Amino acid sequence: MGWELFLHEREAHRAHRIDAARALLDGDRGPAAALLDTWRFAARPELVDALLDTLVAGGFHPSPQQLTASLGPADAIREPAEDFWSLSPLARRVKLTSLCAPSVEADAVHISAWALDELRFFGALIEDRQRRAWQDAAYPPDRRRDAETAALWAEWFEQSAWNCRERWEALYLPVAARAFGAVLEARQFPLHVRHQVQEDLQESFFFTLLGGGEGPPGWQELAVRVLETGRQGPVDTVTGCLDEAGWGRVGSCAVRRGYGPRSAGVAWPDLPNALARARALSDEGQTDPLALERYLDLHVALRLLDTWTEPDRCGSIRSWRVVRQNRGRASGRLRAVLASSDAERLRAPLMALDALHARTLSAVARHCRDWAWQQLSRGFSFDYGRSVSPPCLDDPDGQPPYSVDDLSALRCWVMLVIVRGRLGHLQRWVQEGSTGDRDTQWGRLLAKGLPDRLRDQGEGARGRYDRLRAELAEAGDTMLRELTPIATQIAALDGTKGAALGQRFTALLEPIWTDDVTFPKVRYKGYVENTVKALPLLELDEVEEDAHEH
């Protein structure tokens, strides 16, 4: 496509978005609703209306350049270099923003038009990169290797994997080693550390698949990863294998964890509570193959609108990160639930796949990539009993889900834990229920620093944190990713002296802080040093979960 044709098409789209936004604000929702047809919930008018209610409420903060990139006149954009056309749609969008001279007034019509344009773009991008790319991924068949791989998988299902250890490692350990090597190189570990980790991996690979902890064995997690390569895509393929109990757990986690309560309230406003909404999602999922993707699309779109109300979080890269995090979380939840079910539920659909060797190679690469990033945050301890997929924990009895305000307070408390130098303690406590020591600073953070609203509620709940652990077990990594940009800015204050340090530290944290979490004061130098040390635990992998890399 040439520049002139691009500008011509863009002009038509620009006018359409502005007209739709103006009509929306005047009470005519038809044109705006039509722009949302890239999302799976578009077939449900009541869901579209609910989303548009949130959009009309506004409060978004796009930058002048972002407004101009979507809605500005052609003469406000510099013509890019030739390599512009070789970029991905997302990269082109980012590049276009950098070429804009601000020229659009930030009024209600233009901001609403910008939001409609962003939603349409990301709905299409999800369809392309998170669904169609998986469905179109090529897995070349190899009759000899596929038969061999099927025999190896049969040994796992028969609980006789020791018989195939040598052949399994010969085929798939090199893939695991490459995944770990990529992580070690990305984090620029010295050579002697890389060699030691690779040696430990040689010993741990098979035993981690065997498992031994409370969670599902690693080989069942890996089997679910293989199923994700099915022709329907990872979400629909995995949900097709769930039984009634599995759907119950998926519904409960989806509706009660993180920002799920808000999304569920939008999807089922007439139902009285989280339990009823979880049952509604579970029931729909068992009768309608599109139910979970439809709900997930609604949840992601609402999370984008929420994110755009925060200053400096309207950029396309940040928005795609929100998409990946929320869809990745949902996929991890599905994997955890299915992997925890009876292994026989996995056997028939896995054995029915064609190109089983190529699909297993892809699954090992993805599984070990995530395993490597998990091990990075755990100091490469290679605990055989720890699942790679975050668990979908059962609900603590009688505990209400966290509200949006509760989650804001929780994010502040986690940030307080980071600057106080106890992130490692928090991660061990979430995973194991104990930190393994009697650290007084951690004890104070939990007993006195945690707001009452985040503790278990009700009679007999004093001193219990089941709800907090369940929330952080599933959503903790996402929360750390959200906090990484501000933690990086705090770490960059290292070397700042005098009053300037306290002023800059305070200026970074005040915009996100809530009143019921004690604000860290006075010991700013120590807070910065602690944050610098925490960065390796915060900088988690953000590789896209799409099929382009498989």
DSSP 58-105: ------HHHHHHHHS-GGGBPPPPGGGGGS-HHHHHHHHHHTBPP---
Contact 45, 52 (CB under 8 A): no
Do 357 and 227 belong to one domain?
Answer: yes
Instruction: Locate 405 and state its tokens.
Output: 């305000």
Q: What is the rounded end-to-end Cα distance, in angstroms, of the chain?
A: 28
Domain range for residue 38? 3-136
CA distance 397 to 400: 9
Regarding whether 528 and 409 lie in a shared domain, the answer is yes
Residues paired with 100 in a beta bridge: 77
What is the number of structural domains in the chain? 4
CA distance 525 to 527: 5
pLDDT at 541: 47
Residues 6+ apart with CB under 8 A from 403: 261
The confidence score (pLDDT) of residue 550 equals 39
Number of helices (H) and strands (E) in the chain: give both, helices first: 25, 0
Kindly state the DSSP code that residue 452 receives in the 8-state scheme. Answer: G
Angle, helices 291-307/108-126, rounded to nearest 10 degrees: 140
Q: Is residue 356 domain-shared with residue 411, that is, in the same domain?
A: no
Domain-embedded: residue 266: yes
Q: Could you tell me if residue 543 is inside a domain?
A: no
User: Could you tell me if 427 and 477 lie in one domain?
Assistant: yes
Residues near 160 by beta carbon (within 8 Å), at least 6 away in sequence:
none
Each of the 550 residues of the chain gets a pLDDT tens digit; together they read 789 999 999 999 999 999 999 999 999 999 999 999 999 999 999 999 999 999 999 999 999 999 999 999 999 999 998 789 999 999 999 999 999 999 999 999 999 999 999 999 999 999 999 999 999 999 999 999 999 999 999 999 999 999 999 999 999 999 999 999 999 998 889 999 999 999 999 999 999 999 876 779 999 999 999 999 999 999 999 999 999 999 999 999 899 888 899 999 999 999 998 889 999 999 999 999 899 999 999 999 999 999 999 878 899 999 999 999 899 989 998 999 999 999 999 999 999 999 999 999 999 999 999 999 888 877 888 877 778 887 776 666 667 888 889 999 999 999 999 999 999 899 888 877 788 788 899 999 999 999 999 998 876 666 688 889 888 887 788 788 889 889 999 999 999 999 999 999 999 999 999 999 999 998 999 999 999 999 877 765 444 344 334 3
Residue keyed to tokens 């359409």 = 16
Instruction: Give yes or no: residues 297 and 410 share one domain.
Output: no
pTM of the model: 0.84
Same-domain check for residues 25 and 126: yes
pLDDT given at position 438: 83
Query: Does any domain span residue 545?
Result: no
> Does residue 150 sit in the same domain as residue 186?
yes
Q: At what angle do helices 344-351 and 143-157 cross, to 10 degrees?
A: 170
Question: Would you state the pLDDT for residue 510?
Answer: 94
DSSP 131: I
Would you say residue 550 lies in a domain? no
For 484, the enclosing helix (H) or strand (E) is: helix 466-491
Between CA 182 and CA 186 the distance in angstroms is 6
Same domain for 509 and 428?
A: yes
Confidence at residue 194, expressed as pLDDT on a 0 to 100 scale: 95
